[in-house]
Amino acid sequence: MRHHPSRDLIIPGPAGCVLMATALLAWSILFLKAEEQIPILVYMISGSLLVLVAALSDLHKSISATISSNESSWDKCMTLTLLALILIFHDDHYTLFLLGTIMVYATAVLGLNVQLGYTGVINFSAASFFGIGSYTAAMSSAAGLPSLPALLLGGIVAALVGCVLLLPVLRTSGHYAALVTMAFALLFRVFLEVNEWFGGPQGIAVAPLTLFGLDFSQDMQLWGIEFSFYVKYDLACLLLLVLAFGFVRRLERSWLGLSMDAVRCDETAGACFGVDIARWKITAFTVGNLLSGLAGALYAMMLAYISPANFAFPDSLLFLSILLLGGMGNNWGVILATVFVVVIPEKFQVIQEYRYLIYAALVLFMILYRPMGLLPRKARNYGRLS
Amino acid sequence: MSVLLSCTGLTMRFGGLTALDSLDMAVEEGDVLGLVGPNGSGKTTFFNVATGIYRPSSGKVLFQDEDITAKSPQEIYRMGIARTFQRSRLCLDLTVFDNIMIGNHKNLDFGIIHNLFKRRSFMAEYEDNLEKARSMLHALNPALAKRIHQPVGLLNMIDRRRVEVCRALVSKPKLLFLDEPSAGMTHDETRRLMDEVLAFSRADEKFTLVLIEHEMEVIRRTTNRCIVLNFGRKLCEGDYESVTADPFVQEAYLGTDL
């Protein structure tokens, strides 16, 4: 067998995970701290060059081997990296808001991944379900419901509306099912805009998250250090993301995930082996919309003000392009791609105006040359007892 | 031996095309039955009707004296009929193990708590099934058992067919439909595969097999009885020698001398 010299470069085991996470953290701090366009560009290019070198050499193999054989260390390292970023930027409203946005978007796209990546149920209205979560949280907390039940209700209502939409989706297939969800996404925005009760086109204010008497919309001081109120929201977003990630991963590594794959692969063959096609489509659609709705509800509270323009059809396409970019079915890919899609236009303002053009070009490029996405899904590993 | 599966007056029309035309036939327990006939004679349509993919225009299918004509593919699978497909319908990006487990659907525990939260008991179930799949693969091809965690897309044709056979057999069906196992394989590979399948069937004398095959050599070696279809009708039935001696069969299936 050929010897791979680069395979020795990475320290194996948990230490390797710590090392990689530290490098990632350092790069993220530099990138997020940078404010001038030139350094931002330099960091972006150097980062992409590093990734390119890893992808073209054998480095990526040893990285992914280290990660997959030390999964629980890697999970902890990534959680700690995010936690460290939140604490390092404790008084920087803008960066904290960006981090929070990444985490809620990633949660919503994890939901879309269950639908499209696992089960193959196309959903062009992911942002609408995200919006249903947002509006439910806004309306129910305005009606006097406490924050936590309002948050949960956001997820539940999104899941229930999804079940209603699923009736026509199940009766159609392929392009027609896609059209049903597109129509829903377009109708959803119009519905909000013409209903004064929902605040019309101007939108409505959302009451802040309040847990155990702790108001999430107030800055606070601890040990003489100023903490932005976004720190609290970011911690809530991180908790939601970690729970959603664990849930979605366990789903994949179970017979439930296997049946969802069977539905995506070949409905007829699956049916001949007892796979109940409708049951798994309903399960996947409901679980996905539940996650989108929860993410949307938390996002609305963090944003404090929402309008129909936040949940338009292009946003659904954005969610889909994140999934395509990251790699259908790969949950780490979802997180990586969300970071790209959310952070780059925010930091690199020059492209802000052209971002949809760039996303479109990127998606076309991916479909043509790398249809499996940045991080292609791996063969199922039912895993250790994690 | 008792009748396992029978159909009476089975007719399947697709628009103007009559794929099955009031077909009467019976499969007896322990049979290895060859279903032969030219392209478009209704062999695969019969499989699709009997496994619930199509609902017939008229007629009845009975399995163990129960009417299964209007049952769904899922219900029919649960009653003990499994099949393979003419064009291999495996999930190429899933592993060998995953593909086999899709066939084991009726024996898996789909409880949400069991699958997502009691991971210890789930992993115990997983290990049992892994062992089961591995020993089945080992019986067919020891080398294949070692590749149990690889995606099926990396396997060659005969190994894919083996995985398909395992997927169909893992749930211990009473009746197996094999749809053209020789498609895409050499004579030698087909012979090996059929020997492996027959070794399985000999282990259980009640095991029943219906085989669609164009290669008459395979039919001669494996079956104890044949039914010849033509234009959706039964042309004749009997053992290989008597069927191939039939002048109608020679004309319809083997062709006439010019």
DSSP string, B37-101: -STTSSHHHHHHHHTTSS--SEEEEEETTEE-TT--HHHHHHHTEEE--SS----TTSBHHHHHH
Cβ–Cβ gap A254/B51 under 8 Å: no
Q: Residue A355 corresponds to which tokens in the numbers above?
A: 């971002």
Q: What is the pLDDT of residue A351?
A: 75
Partners of residue B110 in chain A, C-beta under 8 Å: 255-256, 259
Residue A110 to chain B, least CA–CA distance (Å): 16
Most confident of A203-212, A352-361, B6-15: B6-15
Partners of residue A254 in chain B, C-beta under 8 Å: 115-116, 122
Could you say which DSSP state residue A201 is in?
G
Which ranges of chain A does DSSP label H, i.e. alpha helix?
14-33, 37-56, 59-69, 71-88, 93-112, 126-142, 147-171, 175-194, 229-252, 255-265, 267-272, 277-303, 313-326, 331-347, 355-369
Inform me whether the pLDDT recorded for A293 exceeds 70.
yes
Inform me whether the pLDDT recorded for A386 exceeds 80.
no
Of B93, B103, B108, the CB nearest to A255: B108
Residue A360 near residue A149 (C-beta atoms within 8 A): no
Element (H, E) at B133: helix B119-140
- Identify the weakest region by mean pLDDT among A51-55, A121-125, B70-74: A51-55
Residue B217 to chain A, least CA–CA distance (Å): 28
Cβ–Cβ gap A247/B116 under 8 Å: yes
Of A247, A274, A381, the CB nearest to B105: A274
A13 CB neighbour count, 10 Å cutoff: 12
Q: What is the mean pLDDT of residues A316-327?
A: 91
- Identify the weakest region by mean pLDDT among A224-233, A311-320, B82-91, B222-231: A224-233
**Residues A371, B231: Cα–Cα separation, whole Å:** 44
Taking only the tens place, the pLDDT of each residue in B200-250 is 777 777 889 999 988 888 888 888 899 988 888 888 888 888 888 888 777
Partners of residue B133 in chain A, C-beta under 8 Å: none
Residue A298 to chain B, least CA–CA distance (Å): 24
Q: What is the pLDDT of residue A5?
A: 45
Q: What is the mean pLDDT of residues A227-249?
A: 92
pLDDT grade for A2, boundaries at 50, 70 and 90: very low
Q: Which residue has the higher pLDDT, A265 or A6?
A: A265
Q: What is the pLDDT of residue A119?
A: 93
Residues belonging to chain B with any Cβ–Cβ distance to chain A shorter than 8 Å: 51-53, 72-74, 77-78, 82-83, 85, 89-91, 93-95, 98, 101-103, 105-106, 108-110, 112, 115-116, 119-120, 122-123, 126, 149-151, 167, 171
User: Nearest to residue B215, comparing CAs of B234, B190, B243, B248?
Assistant: B190
The dihedral of CA B203, B207, B212, B218: what is its sign? positive
pLDDT grade for A252, boundaries at 50, 70 and 90: very high
**Residues A207, A372: Cα–Cα separation, whole Å:** 41
Strands A305-306, B32-36: pairing is unpaired
Taking only the tens place, the pLDDT of each residue in A325-364 is 998 999 999 999 999 888 888 877 777 778 778 888 888 8
* Residue-averaged pLDDT of chain B: 88
Q: What's the number of CA atoms in the CB half-sphere (13 Å) around residue A254? A: 23
Q: What is the mean pLDDT of residues B113-129?
A: 89
- Identify the weakest region by mean pLDDT among A207-216, A246-255, A290-299, B73-82: A207-216
Phi, psi of B14 (to 5 degrees): -115, 100
Q: What is the mean pLDDT of residues A230-243?
A: 93
Of B91, B106, B119, the CB nearest to A262: B91
Q: What is the mean pLDDT of residues A186-203?
A: 86
Q: What is the pLDDT of residue A100?
A: 94
Domains of chain A by start residue, with CATH: 1-88 (no CATH), 93-369 (1.10.3470)
Q: What is the pLDDT of residue B76?
A: 93
Phi, psi of A381 (to 5 degrees): -125, 115
Cβ–Cβ gap A254/B116 under 8 Å: yes
Residue A163 near residue A285 (C-beta atoms within 8 A): yes
Domains of chain B by start residue, with CATH: 3-80+173-254 (3.40.50.300), 95-163 (no CATH)
**Residues A364, A342: Cα–Cα separation, whole Å:** 19
Residue A385 to chain B, least CA–CA distance (Å): 6
Taking only the tens place, the pLDDT of each residue in B146-167 is 999 999 999 988 899 989 989 9
Strands A214-215, B17-28: pairing is unpaired
pLDDT grade for A116, boundaries at 50, 70 and 90: very high
**Which residue on chain A is closest to B95 by alpha carbon?**
A379
Cβ–Cβ gap A273/B171 under 8 Å: yes
pLDDT grade for B255, boundaries at 50, 70 and 90: low
Inform me whether the pLDDT recorded for B1 exceeds 60.
yes
Cβ–Cβ gap B126/A273 under 8 Å: no
pLDDT grade for A108, boundaries at 50, 70 and 90: very high
CB pairs under 8 A between A and B: 91
Q: What is the pLDDT of residue A3?
A: 44
Partners of residue A261 in chain B, C-beta under 8 Å: 91, 94, 98
List the beta bridge partners of residue B6.
B26, B62
Q: What is the pLDDT of residue B252?
A: 66
Inform me whether the pLDDT recorded for A107 exceeds 90.
yes
B188 CB neighbour count, 10 Å cutoff: 9
**Which residue on chain A is closest to B115 by alpha carbon?**
A254
Q: If you search the block for the tokens 């954005």, which residue do you land on?
A: A318
